[in-house]
Structure formats: C-alpha cells, structure tokens
Chain A
C-alpha cells in the first residue's frame, strides 16, 4: 500500500532525519571537493602531456617529457581501469603494509581516492579538449612571445574549460553517486546512512525510496547549476559599442608612444589645427 510506504518514510524521517541530512552533506562535500581536485589534476596532466618537443630539442628535455607522458599514461590506465571500491581498499588497507602508516582520518583517504580517480578521467577529457582547440590559437600566442605555460593558462585552458564543461558535469554527477562505494572503508555518506538505518529498523524499501529521491534531487540540482554555469562561460551574446573616445584627454593617457603626442599637439598625425 502506498499510504503505508509514506507512513514508514514519515517515521523514518522523524527518527533519523538529521542522520540522513548529515549523510547528504558528507556526500556533497566529498563529491564537490574530489571533483575540484580531480579537475586540477586533470588540467595539470593535460598541460604536461601537451608540452611540444621537436627533434632538435635537447636530449634531456626530450627524455624527460617522454617520461612524463609515460607516467601520466600509466596513471590514467591504472585508475580508469580498476574499480574505485578496490582503489579505496588498496589505499586504506595497503598503506600499513607498504609504508607502515595508516590513515586515522577517513575523510583524507576518501578525498584522495575519489580525487585521484576523477583526475584520471579528467586527464583524458582535458587532453581531448586541448586537442580540439584550433592550432591557430597556439600560434597566435606563440607569435606574440608567450611561452607554453602562458599560452595554456591564459588562452587554451579557458577555452578548453568551456568545451569540457559538460564532461566535468558528468564527472561530478558520477561522483555524487559513486562516492557511495566509500562505505567500504567506513565513510558515512548518504548511502552508508541507508545501510545503517535499514539495518537498525528493517525498513529496507522506504529507506531506499528516500535514497533514490535524495540522489535524484542532488543530481538534478547539479545539472541545473551546471547549465547555468555553461551559459555564463559562453559569455554575453551581444556587446556594447564604445562610441566615446577612449583616448579622451586624461592625465597620462598620451604617453604611448611618447613621440606621437596628443591630438592637440602638432606632432600628432591626427592633429587637425586650432579649429576644425
């Protein structure tokens, strides 16, 4: 009976409402932080992978760049090719074996695992995004003397970011849902709350129903916000003409180049005489 379902949900909410809300908060914090860090990792890998090197570059530089590409490639393949749930287990339970240290803080491990996993996917998205930028943009930047980092930072990555925004949104939404596997190491996210509550009161379906609704709300909200962000990144569709003379006399305006003078001085090419 539907009415029974809603009574059950009501009683669950009355008793465990704040627990569910804490779960949602934890899920959101983890997903947002890990997606942001993952993006930074992805962009960093993207820049490193696209440093150009020609045949007449110094041998050490060539070897080094080749090595960087191999390391990034290996990282991407490893973290893209294994389940995140196992990555969590490996890092959380593997650390004591390899380094003799164990993480006290579940948050740190969870953020590391999800970030590094997202970073592997983002590295490929960013690489694709950079490849889709018109080579003319690189040449234009090179021609005015910008180096690779400047070109990337000010010209290429802003355009890449706009192009891969849907991909970042994808990753964020995946993270909202997939952080649920972190229960394996004891992270108390939204899904972990379900396991805990339903285990205590044996109301599996009503709790799952709430979870479904909760996750859907989180992802729909994310989709909505991402669309808004995409629109903002696309910029205004119109522009204002500036008809007022931008070079109107204000102190210090006219010293470029010095010998050109202001339109009110005879040395200026636009000088039209005392009266027009």
Chain B
C-alpha cells in the first residue's frame, strides 16, 4: 500500500437532513499542492473543516499516514498539531501579540521551551515578512498582515500538511497579492504539502499540482490543472470555469 499523507475515504457530512458532502474520496501525497475549487455552498470549506476534525463526519474515514483519525480513538490534538489550518477570518488570538500568537502552540502543545519557540516563531514570521510587527496585537494590523501572521502561526507548528480555507476571501483586493505571494513561495520554494480551498483561479492554475472541482457536495472532476483549465471533461466544470474566468 502506498503511503499517502492524507487519504479521504467515502466521506459524507450532513447537517440534519441536509447532505453537504456526499461520498468524497481523494488523497494527498507529500509535496502536493491541491486546490479545491467550486461554487459557494458546494461543500469545499466543510470538507476542509472535516479534515481538520472541526466538524464530525457523518460517515467515512480520514487516514493520516494510513491511520484512521476520524473515529475519536486517537488524540485529535496531536493530529491537529500536524495538520495546520489557515482560516478565512484569520482567527488570530486577539489577547496575544503577533509573536505570542506564533509561540503559544509550540510551547503548550509541542512543549518547546520559550527561547526556542521564540526563535522558531521569528524564523517563520521573517519568512512571511511580518518580523517587524512582533509587538503588535492582531487588531492593530491589516487583513493581509493578519493572514500572513496566521500562516506563520500554522508554520511554526511545523505541520506536515497545511490547509487553507479561502485565505484571501476576506481581504481587500490590494492585499490579496501579498498573501498569495507567501503561499506561492511556500508551495514552490519550500515544497510544502498544501490543500487550498480558493476562488483565486490564477493560483489554482499556476501553483497547484492538482485541482479538485466540487459541486453540490461531490467531486465532479479532478486532475492536472492544465487539463482542468484547458480541457475539462465534465460539463459542469466547463460551465463553472467559463462563468468564473469570464466575469
């Protein structure tokens, strides 16, 4: 059996009688940059939240290095520490400084001593260009800066996979670029394994190695970005791309 980092098997999620995800199957391998595209309400974000166990699955399983993490038998905290998440609304801890935001998880979850946690936090804040702002509080910096700090916070845990839940959707247009640049450099220079839910088609097209198109809770089509964007097989994919690229 080949070792996938993440393997999603027959994942379904329903809120009450409303089925949001239906029988989702896909895998993530080391170094993959997978983008999940699709219209709003197609279940993209829910899928990502299920993978990070922020939502409980209705049926199906999530295998992390071949081990099922979805049943509550394993320590979900330890799993979450290895799978980083960047949210649409940043979710930085508003009582802590930028630096402390990037240190707290290392100290409390990974039990790294303060001085080492500080070095690591600074290393990653430097990477996203936020090192000068270490003393600021989250409510004192701009949206793009917040998202870059959030990325640094996730990176400081040195996760194996990084999940991005529409990281640029809550940003002003002029700030989208700075966040995408950071993500691009993570994907191309650091070879980070990433799973990105996004509406940024240029990112999906240029940076990702794999594109998943979702509609109404099912994966309609997936494959190479070049193929999906130039010659999609599925009619719905074609309609979606035509709509979003010609707007």
Instruction: Say whether, besides A143-B80, A144-B84, A137 and B109 are in contact (CB < 8 Å).
Output: no
Residues on A with C-beta less than 8 A from B123 are: 247, 256-257, 260
A137 touches B94 (CB 8 A): yes
Contact with B along A245-264 (1 / 0, CB 8 A): 11100001101110010000
Residues on A with C-beta less than 8 A from B87 are: 136, 139-140, 143
- B interface residues (Cβ-Cβ under 8 A, vs A): 52, 54, 56, 72, 77-82, 84-85, 87, 89-97, 104-105, 108-109, 116, 119-120, 122-123, 125-126, 131-137, 140, 150, 153-154, 157-158, 189
Choose, from A116-124, A217-225, A235-243, the stretch at the interface.
A235-243
CA gap between A144 and B159 in the complex, in Å? 9
Which partner residue on chain A sits nearest B163 by CB separation?
Answer: A143
27 contacts between A and B (CB under 8 A): A57-B72, A134-B91, A137-B94, A139-B54, A139-B87, A142-B54, A142-B80, A143-B91, A144-B80, A144-B84, A144-B85, A145-B79, A145-B81, A146-B108, A150-B108, A154-B108, A155-B95, A155-B104, A159-B94, A239-B140, A242-B131, A242-B132, A242-B134, A242-B135, A246-B125, A247-B123, A256-B123
Chain A residue total in the interface (Cβ 8 A): 38
CA gap between A142 and B157 in the complex, in Å? 13
Interface residues in A125-153 by Cβ distance below 8 A to B read 134, 136-137, 139-147, 150
Which partner residue on chain A sits nearest B133 by CB separation?
Answer: A241
A246 touches B93 (CB 8 A): no
Which partner residue on chain A sits nearest B55 by CB separation?
Answer: A54
Residues on A with C-beta less than 8 A from B91 are: 134, 136-137, 139-140, 143
A145 touches B94 (CB 8 A): no
Residues on A with C-beta less than 8 A from B95 are: 155, 158-159, 162
Within 8 Å of chain B (Cβ to Cβ): is A108? no
Instruction: Say whether, besides A145-B109, A243-B132, A140 and B77 are in contact (CB < 8 Å).
Output: no
CB distance from B196 to the nearest CB of A (A): 15
Residues on B with C-beta less than 8 A from A154 are: 93, 104, 108
CA gap between A147 and B93 in the complex, in Å? 15
Q: Which of A56, A147, A235 contacts B56 (CB 8 A)?
A: A56
Instruction: Say whether, besides A136-B87, A150-B109, A145 and B77 are in contact (CB < 8 Å).
Output: yes
CB distance from A143 to the nearest CB of B (A): 4
Which partner residue on chain A sits nearest B154 by CB separation?
Answer: A144
